[in-house]
Amino acid sequence: MLGMIDGNGHPWSWSAIVNGYDPARMSACPYPVIPRYLDAQPPGTVGIAGARVTHLWTDRPAEAAPVAAATFIPHVVARPEDVIGQVDAALIAVDDGFDHVERARPFVEAGLPVFVDKPLALTVADLRTFIAWHRAGARIFSSSGLRFAPELDTLQSRLAELGALRWISAVSCKTWARYGIHLLEPVFRILGPGFVSIRLESSSAAEIAHLVHASGAEVTLPVIKDGGATFGTLHLCGTGGQTHFQFADTYTSFRRQLVNFIAYARTGVETYPFTDTIELMSVLIAGLRSSTAGGRHVPIAEIQSELAP
């Protein structure tokens, strides 16, 4: 488990989901939502059989010891590269998509399966690097936990009732760069590949993305900087009806995500095509380009044409 930056507590949560945790020591976690959803699980059920987080590195060394103590990690290392030769896979646990290539490089080059926290890459050059690594056989996994949200299981069983989808909206918080993927991933699960274009308009309070999909559905994704109270709200409108809900089962979403990565690390069989991730990152990058250009309409094909070797 490698890396921890401000606003991202995944070493606390992911390590606990894999290893189990000490509730008393978990109370030191600076993100109260994490012990809250861990403590909501039935006693003795937290943990993933056959897998262990054995090594930890954090960007600020002083932050490692409390995480390790709370989540039963036996080894804290001085450098991320120190885990090479000691572990079967690496998790890059920071959500800075501008920094992932250099964080992942040592482990990709060592031949380890690598989980890279969302978003995988936020520049064409970095995405091109990950594509080249993947084509060369590297095992790279990256997603939002909401791809695996149990609420989507229920929704999928009801989609036919809605008829042809005409409009989807989903709400996030923070920024498009860090949290836009939390909206795109579940929408992608619903609509499939085929995003055509994006326009991202930005203000001091929010970033609002308007996307067009090849299915004919249009998508509005507001990223409200202080919108934590409404994070994960999803609304779908179709020719036969509408539905709305809010993603709430964070624990199950993260657990499924980790289980899928562990299976991929063991077998090399992808849960879903890497082309999904390429398209999603292309949309994120196109959104950033649109915002920089004052809300210019950016075709997704514009980004994808730049990814060619």
CA distances from 288 to 178, 181, 199, 202 (A): 11, 12, 9, 10
Res 309 pLDDT > 90? no
191 and 294 fall within a common domain: yes
123 within a domain of the structure (yes/no): no
* 268's tokens: 């090399």
Question: Tell me: the pLDDT tens digits for 117-163?
Answer: 999 999 999 999 999 999 999 999 999 999 999 999 999 999 999 99
295 and 155 fall within a common domain: yes
Question: Residue 250 and residue 288: Cα distance in Å, rounded?
Answer: 27
Owning domain of residue 166 = 147-249+281-305
- How far is C-alpha 221 from the chain's CA centre? 16
Mean pLDDT of the chain: 97
Cβ atoms 122, 284 nearer than 8 A: yes
151 and 103 fall within a common domain: no
Question: Tell me: the pLDDT tens digits for 52-105?
Answer: 999 999 999 999 999 999 999 999 999 999 999 999 999 999 999 999 999 999
pTM: 0.96
Instruction: Centre a 10 Å sphere on the Cβ of residue 32 and count the other Cβ atoms it contains.
Output: 9
87 within a domain of the structure (yes/no): yes
Position 308 confidence tier, pLDDT thresholds 50, 70, 90: confident
108 and 25 fall within a common domain: yes
Say which CATH number the domain at 35 has: 3.40.50
33 and 110 fall within a common domain: yes
Question: Residue 198 and residue 66: Cα distance in Å, rounded?
Answer: 42
Kindly state the average pLDDT of the residues 165-193: 97
292 and 190 fall within a common domain: yes
Res 188 pLDDT > 90? yes
100 and 187 fall within a common domain: no
254 within a domain of the structure (yes/no): no
162 and 288 fall within a common domain: yes
287 and 156 fall within a common domain: yes
